[in-house]
Structure 1
Amino acid sequence: MIAMLPFPDISPEVFSISLFGTTFALRWYALAYIVGILLGWRLVVRATRTPRLWKNNTPVMTPSQVEDLLFWVILGVILGGRLGYVLFYQPAFYLSNPLRILQLWEGGMSFHGGALGVIIAGLLFTRRHKIPTISTGDLVCLGLAPGLFLGRLANFINAELWGRPTNLPWGVAFPTDAAQYCPDVAGICARHPSQLYEALLEGLILGGILVWMAWRRGALQREGLIGGTFLAGYGIARFAVEFVRQPDAQFVSDGNPLGLAWHMGGYGMTMGQILCLPMIMVGVFLILRARRRAA
């Protein structure tokens, strides 16, 4: 018998109430977004209130400007995340059903699209307020880890974005019909808890490294170092997890069981890996640029 972990009995809803014949529910995923944004905001505000972290003891932004930036970031995450999912993962479906693009409650968000949305929002905000763009990006990246960590935990609770089948002892038997569809597995199908891998790597570990760099290594004094480390670190972590993460169903076929978005001669990459490559390259560029300027 293959060892596996049962899926925990946790409802996707924190609580629900019925008013006037309509049920309103607070879901863990929404709560993760809210709490993650609040924790990231407080972390960034604390950084701006700690002058010793900055070059010449002068923070690049004031706490009130951070509050203004928060609105732009939230807008970039929602619009960019949704449009990124539409364009990167299911363009044909949404072009045929354009009104479904607005139905956010059905799910479907792309981290890479959200990242692009935040970058565009940050560029507009810094240009408007005449604030250094790259240093502002460092602050934004410093505050992203809590949301990533909690968001991936919420993905696990929702039993979504699970990994490929595995016989490892920590494989999880996700309860959905889609997760249990494993033609090559007899009996219950255990899968990699790839959401927890990402929560650990992209949220907890990467976030801890960024905080250590900012508070102990003076990284905020070197423009682009925090942002570059985040981009490269996230890209590498996500690229690695993609090897065990189940790709979106539209990429899987009889001739392409691994769901590779690009492949040649038996080798290839998933869509997630393809989207991570520019992140890694930009991140490495920013790190080298920051080190060169500090030399």
Structure 2
Amino acid sequence: MIKKMSNSENEFDIPAKNCHRMVILGSTKVGKTSIISRFLNERVEDQYTPTIEDFHRKLYSIRGDVYQLDILDTSGNHPFPAMRRLSILTGDVFILVFSLDNRESFQEVQRLKRQIYETKSCLRNKTKENVDVPVVICGNKCDRDFYREVQEEEIEQLVGGDEHCAYFEISAKKNTNVDQMFQTLFSIAKLPIEMSPGRHCKVSVQSCEILHRKSLRNKKCKDENAYGIVAPFARRPSVQSDLMYIKEKAIGGSQAKEKGCIIC
């Protein structure tokens, strides 16, 4: 059961299988926050503000089912390696971002991809599950005139024919290929592609009660079966909650899947 986050939001009984966390990783100034801003608000801020760590939550009603997507926008400086590892352990889908005109940012993505698979392998070996981690790699800032420092052959080698990994050249500023990237990510993760920005009707938080009653389908939108609400007062679950989640995954995975989502 999801506990109440604020007075403006209702309780939702969301099964654990419908609760997911998306983690976005990459160096500083590559556009991670702009991608998330596009995802949540369909716009980007002109002013750059360094990200320490931002947490967002979006709720969906898709074909009569309610979904929760938590979004973790991480720091490019990663001053706390333990927190970086915790973010990876609790993540379900990942976006790795580099700038096409910055080779060092691409090398960081190479390191991050290895770290994700190594970290997830450590956890999955305990649960006897296969390491199938949905990852999309984004070469951002394709709208700019620049000297390309990362060649396509290197990117193809990084993706390596992995069916759970895809690559897109995007522009968060111009909104180029951003929606297609999210559709592919959710498809790889076997989640509803209606979670992507262009595939559902956006409604206000005041409609949360209506979403809870699953009666939004009566609204006249371009997709009458998919609706999304950005939760305005979402708080990142505590470190203790994340550690408990990891422990349940490691020693009691089958039981954990039967539990509902918890907001702390």
Structure whose residues are more often strand by fraction: 2
Structure whose residues are more often helix by fraction: 1
* TM-score bin, normalised by smaller chain: under 0.3
Between 1 and 2, higher relative CO (CA 8 Å, sep ≥ 6) is seen in 2
Q: Which has the higher Rg, Structure 1 or Structure 2?
A: 1
